[in-house]
Amino acid sequence: MKKFNLILMLLATITMSAQAVWEATYLDVPATKIGKFVELHKKTTDMAQGEDRTIVGSWVYRHWYGSGHSIVIYDLFKSAEDAVKDDFFGALRKNVDKLSEAEQKEMSEVVTEWWSFFKNHTDEMRMHNPETDHVSKPDVDWDIPFVFVVGSYNSSGSEADLAKAYMEWSTRPGVENGLQLGGGSTLHYKGSGSDVQLYGGFKNIKEFAESISNQATDNPEARAKFWSLVEGSHSDQIYIHVGHLVNGKFDLAGPDN
C-alpha cells in the first residue's frame, strides 16, 4: 500500500509540474489610498526585476462590487518550483544597491510605504493549465481597465469536472459567440481559497451586464453538470484591471501609461 501511495504522489507531482501556477495576494487597502498603492506598486515592481525573478506575468485588480478584498494581485509562474524560486526582494535589493545614496533613500521610503499596505494580507496558490483552462478572443487589447469577474465555488466531486462543465456551458460560448473577451478557471493548490475559481474579462460593465443577461443556454447538459457539482454557497466579485507586467515593467491600464 505504501508503494502504491508513493506512485500516486509521484504521478501527482508530475501532473502538477505541467501546470502553471497563480499566486494570488489579497489586500485590504482603503478606497482613498488605492491610487497611492498603485503608484507605489509600479515603482517597486519595476525596481524588482532581474535575473533572480522567475515570474512570467503579474496582474493587479481593484475591487468594484461584492464583498471581497479591495486589491488582488495575481502572479503567474510556469510551475510551483518557479514560484518557490522567485526572489522578488533579492532582485529589489540588487537594483537598489546600484542607485546613488540619495536615490537609495528615496526608494527605501517607497518600498517601506508600499509594504505597509500588505499588513494582514492573505494569499493562496492556484493551478492552471493555459492550454485547456483558458480561452480568449484573438488580438484582444488587454491594456484597458477591463472588468474582471471572479466566481469562487466549492465542489462536491471533481474540481476539474466542475471547472470544465462551466467552461463548456458559459465561458467558451461567451467568448466565441458573445461579448466576453476571455476567461477560464483555476483549481486550489495551497492556502485557504475555494476549490475552483472561474474568471472572465469584459470590456466594460455594460458589456458584462449584457453578457450575463444573454448567458448561453445551448449546452444544458454542461449547465446541469456544473450545478450538480457545486457544494454550498458561492461568491462572485467584480474587479477593474489596474495594470500588469509587460516586458519587465508594470504597465498601468489605459493609453500612454
State the pLDDT at residue 139.
Answer: 94
| Secondary structure (3-state) at 51 | coil
Could you tell me if 109 and 155 lie in one domain? no
Say whether pLDDT at 99 is over 60: yes
Query: Alpha-carbon distance 182 to 81, whole Å?
Result: 27
Last residue of a domain, one of 124, 147, 182: 124
| Secondary structure (3-state) at 216 | coil
Say whether pLDDT at 87 is over 60: yes
Average pLDDT of the segment spanning 185-192 = 94
CATH number at residue 195: 3.30.70.100
Could you tell me if 105 and 80 lie in one domain? yes
Say whether pLDDT at 228 is over 60: yes
Q: Which three cell numbers stand for residue 201?
A: 474579462
Q: Which three cell numbers stand for residue 257?
A: 501609461
Q: Which amino acid would we find at residue 209?
A: A
Assess contact for 142 and 241: CB atoms under 8 A. Answer: yes
Assess contact for 196 and 227: CB atoms under 8 A. Answer: no
* pLDDT tens-digit series, residues 164-177: 999 999 999 999 99
Average pLDDT of the segment spanning 13-31 = 78
- Closest-CA residue to 160 (of 243, 229, 256): 229
Could you tell me if 34 and 23 lie in one domain? yes
Instruction: Give this prediction's pTM.
Output: 0.89
Last residue of a domain, one of 124, 159, 183: 124
Say whether pLDDT at 3 is over 60: no
Q: For the chain, what is the domain count? A: 2
Query: Alpha-carbon distance 25 to 83, whole Å?
Result: 13
Average pLDDT of the segment spanning 231-255 = 95
Say whether pLDDT at 20 is over 50: yes
Say whether pLDDT at 250 is over 50: yes
State the pLDDT at residue 144.
Answer: 97
Last residue of a domain, one of 109, 124, 139: 124
Tell me how far the alpha carbon of residue 211 is from its chain's centroid. Answer: 21
Query: Alpha-carbon distance 207 to 147, whole Å?
Result: 9
Helix (H) or strand (E) holding 14: helix 2-17
Burial 223-247 (b: 16+ CB within 10 A, else e): bebbeebbeeeeeebbbbbbbbbee
Say whether pLDDT at 83 is over 90: yes
